[in-house]
């Protein structure tokens, strides 16, 4: 596999960065190609804006998704976006590596999603979910969080963690057609000591080695809906 | 009420901006104070980073939430953050105004959340949900999206819209203790014509005028959980 790791943490010596380094070593050691975009180290610009495009379809009024499509077809994407799009197209597995900020990704990574998962390539019209533009690729998430496992679950204070992550796992990664492999959650990271961290990295190593064979998360498929996207009545 | 509108759209003449203008006129017309942070117009920097703080608690290793708390207590927040925090503290109602990007807020608004909803003020330790730091304030959301109403619901292709928005409504706004008032969803905006847009703005005006009296969304309360945040067994 060609693995593309998109990593976002403001502290280069963070545990999240250590996890990213474990992912690089483990996946490369298993014979996979590994490319990393370290968004903070790159100074990645997360703001979706008019200057992301040259040769606009409509220079007077910005509809971001329309300009993404137009620029992708006409070679008008800003160079920093085009470079990320090339890495995305070349990968078999996209791995997002980040600390959970407000039950979501840090803004710099949200901006990577907003700017790089371009309309026209990753989705468009009825091309989404299992008909998305990135069908055939896989994606997954490795994240650190302050919470503990018992804070997540059907009766837990924050509900199911995968429900909190629905906009990312289903609304973003699966939306583009990618198979979403089971996420890795490193719980309680700011509060645990050295030995627990070492054990967690070891557990992450095992998770990474089993990832290629893991069953993807199950989400709705478009053939369960009619052409206007109403649910089909089962006979 | 003092209303604080945080608006994020890259096109100043967008329908989302027209909604923001309607909110300003309607709420001011009803006698409320209104302050707007137009994040694109301000060139707001969304990236959480070491330079957000002067006089670090630990200058060698960045734990973002710890530095937020330290800087808030010691006057060390970057001026752009401090200015937003002052507006937040002065408001009775926070209104987030944005187009839905990937079932979430645009990165520039995610960065406002990451940087402005600081630990120490808005939450910390066991102070979250109905014990959060912003208890007594209200918050709501007004957003535009491409999808249509029938694409959201229990059996719909994307599931419940409020479930997709859980990290924002519950995991962010309610997390800080604010009562979350019913959101306003402007569906299908890129595909509708002038008359439908005018009608939608009129519906939004009515929504805004009814907002102060609206019942907040219902979320779990901390007294349903024990001191370790396990669910209490009901007798």
pLDDT digits (tens, 9 = 90+) for B69-122: 999 999 999 999 999 999 999 999 999 999 999 999 999 999 999 999 999 999
pLDDT at A235 over 80: no
Residue B235 in any domain: the answer is no
Residue B230 in any domain: the answer is no
Cβ contacts of A47 on chain B, cutoff 8 Å = 10, 40, 46, 107-108
For residue range B134-147, list pLDDT tens digits in order.
999 999 999 999 99
CB contact under 8 A, A172 and B47: no
pLDDT at A117 over 90: yes
For residue range A183-213, list pLDDT tens digits in order.
999 999 999 999 999 999 999 999 999 999 9
- The secondary element (H helix, E strand) that includes residue B20 is helix B15-29
Residue A104 in any domain: the answer is yes
pTM: 0.98
CB contact under 8 A, A104 and B117: no
Q: Which residues contact A160 (CB under 8 A, 6 or more apart)?
A: A152, A153, A154
Question: Which band of pLDDT confidence, cut at 50, 70 and 90, is reported for residue A137?
Answer: very high
Residue A6 in any domain: the answer is yes
The distance of A165 to chain B (nearest Cα, Å) reads: 7
Ranges of H-type helices in B119-211: 161-164, 166-168, 194-211
Question: Which band of pLDDT confidence, cut at 50, 70 and 90, is reported for residue A234?
Answer: low
Residue B229 in any domain: the answer is no
DSSP string for residues in chain A? -EEEEEE--S-TTSHHHHHHHHHHHHHHHTT-EEEEEEHHHHT------GGGBSS-SSTTS--HHHHHHHHHHHT-B-HHHHHHHHHHHH-SEEEEEEE-BTTB--HHHHHHHHHHS-BTTTBBTTB-GGGSTTTT-EEEEEEE-SS-GGGSSTTSTT--HHHHTHHHIIIIIGGGT-EEPPPEEETTGGG--HHHHHHHHHHHHHHHHHHTTSPPPP---GGGB-TTSPBPPP-
Residue A156 in any domain: the answer is yes
The predicted structure's pLDDT at residue B125: 81
Report the C-alpha gap between A148 and B229 in whole angstroms.
10
The predicted structure's pLDDT at residue A42: 98
The predicted structure's pLDDT at residue B235: 55
Residue B233 in any domain: the answer is no
Structural domain for A140, as ranges: 2-224
- Nearest CB among B103, B148, B175 relative to A167 is that of B103
Q: Are A183 and A169 in contact (CB under 8 A)?
A: yes
pLDDT at B47 over 60: yes
Report the C-alpha gap between B179 and B87 in whole angstroms.
18
The distance of B31 to chain A (nearest Cα, Å) reads: 33
Mean local confidence (pLDDT), A91-104 = 98
CATH number at residue B151: 3.40.50.360
Report the C-alpha gap between A154 and A168 in whole angstroms.
19
pLDDT at B234 over 70: no
Residue A63 in any domain: the answer is yes
The residue whose two tokens read 């990474």 is A208
Q: How many domains does chain A have?
A: 1
Q: Are B3 and B93 in contact (CB under 8 A)?
A: yes
| Closest to A139 (Cα-Cα) out of A185, A90, A179, A85 | A179
């Amino acid at each position: 596999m060609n693995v593309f790791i998109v990593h976002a943490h403001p502290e280069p010596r963070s545990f999240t960065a250590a996890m990213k380094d474990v992912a690089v070593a483990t996946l490369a050691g298993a014979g996979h190609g590994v490319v990393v975009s370290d968004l903070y180290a790159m100074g990645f610009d997360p703001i979706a804006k008019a200057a992301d495009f040259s040769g606009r379809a409509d220079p007077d009024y910005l509809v971001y998704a329309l300009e993404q499509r137009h620029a992708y077809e006409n070679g008008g994407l800003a160079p920093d976006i085009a470079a990320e799009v090339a890495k995305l197209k070349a990968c078999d597995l996209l791995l997002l590596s980040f600390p959970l900020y407000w039950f979501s990704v840090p803004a710099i990574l949200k901006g990577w999603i907003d700017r790089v998962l371009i309309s026209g390539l990753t989705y468009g019209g009825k091309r989404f979910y299992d008909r998305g533009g990135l069908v055939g690729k896989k994606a997954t998430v490795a994240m650190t969080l302050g919470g503990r496992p018992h804070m997540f679950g059907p009766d837990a204070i924050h509900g199911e963690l995968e429900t909190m992550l629905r906009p990312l796992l289903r609304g973003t990664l699966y939306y583009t057609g990618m198979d979403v492999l089971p996420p890795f959650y490193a719980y309680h990271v700011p509060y645990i000591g050295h030995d627990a961290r070492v054990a967690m990295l070891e557990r992450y190593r095992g998770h990474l080695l089993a990832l290629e064979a893991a069953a993807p998360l199950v989400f709705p498929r478009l053939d369960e809906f009619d052409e206007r996207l109403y649910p089909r009545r089962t006979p």
